[in-house]
Structure formats: structure tokens, C-alpha cells
Amino acid sequence: MKKKLLLGILFSVSISFHIKAQDFLQKFEKEFCTCLSGKTNYTDETFKTCSYEVMSKLQKDFENFHNSTANKNRNDFMKDLMIRLINNCDPFYIHMADLKKTGMDKFRNDYKEISIDSLKNKFTETKLLADYWEIANWYFAHNENEQAERMYK
């Protein structure tokens, strides 16, 4: 009987901590998205400003979250938060999609003027892994994804 009672108490405490963690994540997500929604230009500075404002406002909740969650949950905090924001906050999703597009455009532009033959010749001469990856990157930048994937493996 004592064993069942102890297990019940531990289970209740565990559930309570999980609920508090979810409450904090929901509050942070809502406040952060509300802050972003009030802005018109989504820059890194906008995100820093909103992060600071929301963290200042939810400082006590954040401390409670960190005091009541296991280390694994603490380590996954940013990953979990990013997933929630991407799925539930349109301004955040738009910013992340723009960052991805900008990064891919730059990546593709970097390989625009380079020929695959010159990269292959360089690798033949050096046999360096970095030069091999350059060939794979060239294929990826030119949307030859199957060839790139084979090389990345």
C-alpha cells in the first residue's frame, strides 16, 4: 500500500512539473508571437527585442520552469520552443522561411560561376575530403539532389 501511495505521489509530482513546463512554453509562445505580430519588419534585432521583452516579463515563470524540469527538458527547451513557434506563430515561420531562402540563394550563388569539372580536377589532385564535399555541394546547389545525396553519404 505504501509503495502504491509513494508511486502515486511521484507520478502526481511528475505530471505537475510537466504541466508547469507546458504552461511556460505556451505563455512564452503566445507572448513572443504577440510581440512579433506587432512588428512590421522581421529582422534579427526584432527577434532579440521581443525575446528580451518576453523573458523580462516571464522571468519568474522561466525560473520556475528551469527549477522544475529535468536536465533533458532544459536542454531541449530551445528545440521545443522553435518547433512550437514554427508551427504556431506565422511571423516566426515567415522569418525562418526567409532566412532559409536567403541562405539557399547565397549558397547557390556561391557555386554559380564554378564548373563541376574544375572541382573534380581539384579533388583528383588533392584527394582532400573538403574538396570532395565541394563537389557534393555543387550538385546540391544545381538541384542535382540525387547525385549530391550519394556523395554526402
User: What confidence tens digit (pLDDT) does each residue in 31-62 have?
Assistant: 999 999 988 888 888 888 998 999 999 888 88
Cα–Cα distance for residue pair 47/59, rounded to 1 Å: 17
What pTM does this model have?
0.66
Does residue 125 lie within any of the structural domains? Answer: no
Domain assignment of residue 59, given as a range: 2-89
**Does 38 reside within a domain?**
yes
Grid-cell match 512539473, residue found: 17
Number of CB atoms found within 10 A of residue 51's CB = 14
Residue 121 lies in a domain: no
Residue 94 lies in a domain: no
- Please report whether residue 57 resides in a domain: yes
Instruction: Report if residue 7 sits inside a domain.
Output: yes
Give the count of domains, the chain: 1
> Is residue 98 in a domain?
no
